[in-house]
Amino acid sequence: MKAPTATHPGTQSTAAQHEAVKTNAKPFGLRDKIGYMFGDLGNCFILGLVNSFLMIYYTNVLGIAGGVVGILFLTARIIDAFADVTVGRIADTTALTSEGRFRPWIRRMKYPFCLITIIMFLPFMHSLPMSLKIVYIFISYLVYGIFLSAINIPYGSMASAISADPDHRASLSTFRSLGSAIGGASTGFLIPIFMYAQAADGRQVVSNMRFFIIAIVCSLLAFLSYNMTYKLTTERVQIQKHEKVSAKDLLKGMAKNKALLALVAVDLFIVINQILSGTTTTYLFNDYFHNKQAMSIALLFTYGTVILLAPFATWVIKRFGKKEASVVTLVFSSALYFIMYFMHIHNAWVYLVFMFVATLGFSLFNLMVWAFITDVIDYHQYVTGYREDGTVYGVNSFARKVGQALAGGIGGFMLQLIGYQSSTNGGAVQSIAVENRIYGLANLLPAALLLIAALILAFLYPLNKKTIDDVDAKLKEINNQD
């Protein structure tokens, strides 16, 4: 690969700032796809545990009020959001190594990240005074979020460094989503089966010791998966940067990138929906349907539908475009959740049928989201002249973390608002009114959030199929890529 020489009228020359480094790497292939898949497989062994079950662990094992948990999640996600951008800038500005720019982060950060996950579920903490419990959850969860940024931002940025070919990147997005789906489906299906123990009165209650064992198993699986990512992937697009982009120029460039701004907004609402869906689904089947078997299947749907859609993703992208297909399916899912709310279904298995179809709709966007981000990274170079993979990815991740912060806060505060009763003995019996309010939250929230995301994507995101093809062609010329 040669150093860039040509410029687009809307960009600055990148020749002075960036120099492409020639590598003798093997051609892109299945090895890279499998390796990249393992990265999100590792992420989701841990994220599937934390995102879907940490709140119920805090409220039903540690006995912490939902409002306190909401404050924790809100605070942590805001800190994490800034950590994402910071890690992205550090990754972009550090010198290239023989391993590449992003792979060394995965090699190093897997140790502390997996360890802090186990620490969050220490079994003896439920017997501490409430003040110490709150200190414990705040410290451990904040540290967890920072280490997550340190491994996830380089991992996500690495997709644009593995290959410059847009079809290769689309396949990486598909395989990443497969890894996410397998990890998330495994945790979503199996954790509800193993997290309960039988109390003296015969009730099924959430077990602190079982959660500790689950955390150890999930962390071990994640550690092995990160090793596979490091060993199987290769960074082929290696750009040596001779000058750092000033903060002022960086911010100006971000403001020019309308695709980034729109995707940030879309991701904000999609992630709020994704996190709240995992949380409300857990409470819906635990307290409204009282059916832990159906809970396992419901959480499996959230990820399993991605696996079903994966074989068709590349064809859909080429035939319709990422933006066009995602808008249609998001609107469909939103409409179905509205219908489910007004039906007020009481049978868990009937509800699962409708939920499966609704999940298929928004899963298409989740399958394609990483390809959206690589398009936005390319578009950033197209409109500004600067190649800032880690920073652009970090900014988008900033939005995702803000979404997670809002989701954590909304989830905790809404539980308290509807009168949900916390417990230290595995779960309190909720009133009929509270159960019905849980059902309302589980359907109206995704209906509204998915509709907002679809409208933003339709009217504000500029990268339709034709525009992406034009950007790819121009960048190939700018970077003198063969």
Is the pLDDT higher at 402 or at 456? 456
Q: What pLDDT is recorded for position 480?
A: 56
Residue predicted with more confidence, 338 or 14: 338
Q: pLDDT confidence of 9, banded at 50, 70, 90?
A: very low
pLDDT single digits (tens) 361-400? 888 888 788 778 888 888 887 887 776 777 788 888 777 7
Query: Are the C-beta atoms of residues 334 and 321 closer than 8 Å to each other?
Result: no
Q: Which carries the bigger pLDDT value, residue 7 or residue 428?
A: 428
Residue with more model confidence, 437 or 317 = 437
The highest-confidence range among 107-111, 198-202, 234-238, by mean pLDDT, is: 107-111
pLDDT at 327 over 90: yes
Q: What is the mean pLDDT of the chain?
A: 83
pLDDT score, position 100: 79
Q: How far, rounded to the nearest angstrom, does the alpha carbon of residue 321 sit from its chain's CA centroid?
A: 22
What confidence score (pLDDT) does residue 247 get?
A: 59
**Model pLDDT, residue 302:** 65
Q: Is 324 a residue whose pLDDT tops 70?
A: yes
Contact between residue 367 and residue 173 where contact means Cβ atoms under 8 Å apart: yes
Question: Distance between CA atoms of 11 and 477, rounded to whole angstroms?
Answer: 13
What's the mean pLDDT in 152-158?
A: 90
Look at residues 366, 373, 401 and name the one whose alpha carbon lies nearest to residue 177.
Answer: 366
At 117 the pLDDT is 97
- pLDDT tens string 180-209: 888 887 887 889 888 888 777 777 788 889
pLDDT value at position 15? 42
pLDDT of residue 24: 54
Look at residue 16 in the predicted model and tell me its pLDDT.
Answer: 42
pLDDT tens per residue, range 47-97: 989 988 898 899 888 999 888 888 888 788 788 878 888 888 888 777 667
φ and ψ at residue 237, rounded to 5 degrees: -95, 90
At residue 2 the predicted structure's pLDDT band, cuts being 50, 70 and 90, is very low
- pLDDT score of 60: 87
**For the whole prediction, is pTM greater than 0.75?**
no
**So what's the pLDDT on residue 280?**
83
Say which CATH topology domain 22-478 has. Answer: Growth Hormone; Chain: A; (1.20.1250)
- Assess whether pLDDT exceeds 50 at residue 5: no
pLDDT digits (tens, 9 = 90+) for 238-259: 665 545 665 566 667 677 788 8
Task: Check pLDDT > 80 for residue 345.
Answer: yes
Q: What confidence tier does 35 reach under pLDDT thresholds 50, 70, 90?
A: very high
**Statement: residue 347 has pLDDT above 90:** yes
User: Averaging pLDDT over each range in 21-30, 144-153, 161-170, which range is the top one?
Assistant: 144-153
pLDDT above 70: percentage of residues in the chain: 87
Q: In whole angstroms, what is the distance from residue 367 CA to residue 143 CA?
A: 29
